Structure 1
């Protein structure tokens, strides 16, 4: 292995270890909710400011009086309540994942998975946390992928078909039967095994896409080295 290849391999290993130490699915969901609350507060402040400006402008032509002041206060309160009741983050339905743009699919899948946590057993929750971390790593790679490439089709099928069908299939089973063996299989264990397979499959896809990017980078680097050598040779005396 050449020095440049070793550097790339080391960098990839560091990035992978950093990703695996990433925040859990619930932590990132909490961060998104906090960001959504800050956006709400910003919208409330902007709406109140706009109402006050409109009141000041109106007051230049028509005295507001006590009734006008009450109307302004009422408008501010109504705007605040309206913005407050709006969801800070859109809910994602399993059926909508199939229509989601490939670039947005990892995040939308992560949001949907977060909404399923309460209906899953603890071992499955740990696995969807792991899947969430892998989706975070996969996302930037998908942003550069042609949606019609075989790899893109494989990723979409896994995230928008197999994963939701596994989770919703488990949830459709009555609670008392989820831990009972039937035909040699226990639904809860099937869910855990299935999520484990999906977790490993996303990791495999990520490594394959990363390998393609690293190979492309190595090829470009070699091309530049050759061009630099040609330029250097052309600049030598006697050429």
Structure 2
């Protein structure tokens, strides 16, 4: 089985877990999609209420009311508003930052900026790579809060910047420049699609490792405090 097949199987397994009761939280991309759908429905509801209020006011103000034609116009306005707001973007997305900017952006904003850039490249990637892009987005979301305590010029920050702000965009950029027909052509025993999936999987694991290393102090502190509480209070409660 190829690496691409492995990634496809992993994606299917993740979808199965999401579909089961008590499944893990949805990826950030799914959460964003649901939030956008919620905002769109809210706008449609508000527009319908506004149209109904306008029709009611018109019926009270006009001497002869709005009549059958007025009701018809209100209905047409509600249908038109629903159609328009269904296709109108739920949010106004800013253009993703260029890769060169990611090299110099503030370290605290780097994960969010890189995730935004990566999401903009998502549709040109093969399906297994899109699954990995979602996972990398989740990793970047977990990493981001920890960078508030990282020294911007420290070794940890530099390692993160090299991987997240330089290597990741450069790697995806290299793939994007490969002509589409050649992406599934084997070269040196591996296709560009498979190389992309392998590389993204490696980056995802490394970001997870960086996050764990940054959290090591807090994990040690939590474990130490937990032991202290057990020694201090567990014996008293049993006694």
Instruction: Please name the residue that 1:85 is paired with.
Output: 87
Number of aligned positions between the proteins: 200
Matched, 1:47 2:47: yes
Taking the TM superposition and a 5 Å limit, the aligned residue runs for 1:49-128 are: 49-63=49-63, 64-66=65-67, 67-88=69-90, 90=93, 93=96, 95=98, 98=102, 106=111, 109-110=114-115, 113=118, 116=121, 119-121=124-126, 124-125=129-130, 127-128=132-133
Taking the TM superposition and a 5 Å limit, the aligned residue runs for 1:155-174 are: 155-174=160-179
**Counterparts of 2:110 and 2:54 in 1: how far apart (Å)?**
42
Give 5+ residue unaligned stretches, structure 2: 1-22, 233-239
**Counterparts of 1:173 and 1:149 in 2: how far apart (Å)?**
35
Alignment CA distance shift 1:200-1:31 (3 Å): closer
Q: What RMSD over aligned residues (CA atoms) do the two structures have, in Å?
A: 4.2
**Counterparts of 1:140 and 1:196 in 2: how far apart (Å)?**
22
Alignment CA distance shift 1:147-1:36 (3 Å): farther
Matched, 1:176 2:181: yes
TM-score by length of 1: 0.60
Taking the TM superposition and a 5 Å limit, the aligned residue runs for 1:135-150 are: 135-142=140-147, 144-145=148-149, 148=152, 150=154
Residue 163 of structure 1 and its aligned partner are, at CA, apart by 1.7
Taking the TM superposition and a 5 Å limit, the aligned residue runs for 1:221-236 are: 221=225
Residue 195 of structure 1 and its aligned partner are, at CA, apart by 1.9
**Counterparts of 1:152 and 1:122 in 2: how far apart (Å)?**
31
**Counterparts of 1:170 and 1:80 in 2: how far apart (Å)?**
40
Residue 138 of structure 1 and its aligned partner are, at CA, apart by 2.4
Following TM superposition, where does structure 1 have runs of at least 4 consecutive aligned residues deviating by more than 6 angstroms?
Answer: 99-104
**Counterparts of 2:105 and 2:115 in 1: how far apart (Å)?**
13
Which SS does the other structure have where 2:187 is aligned?
coil
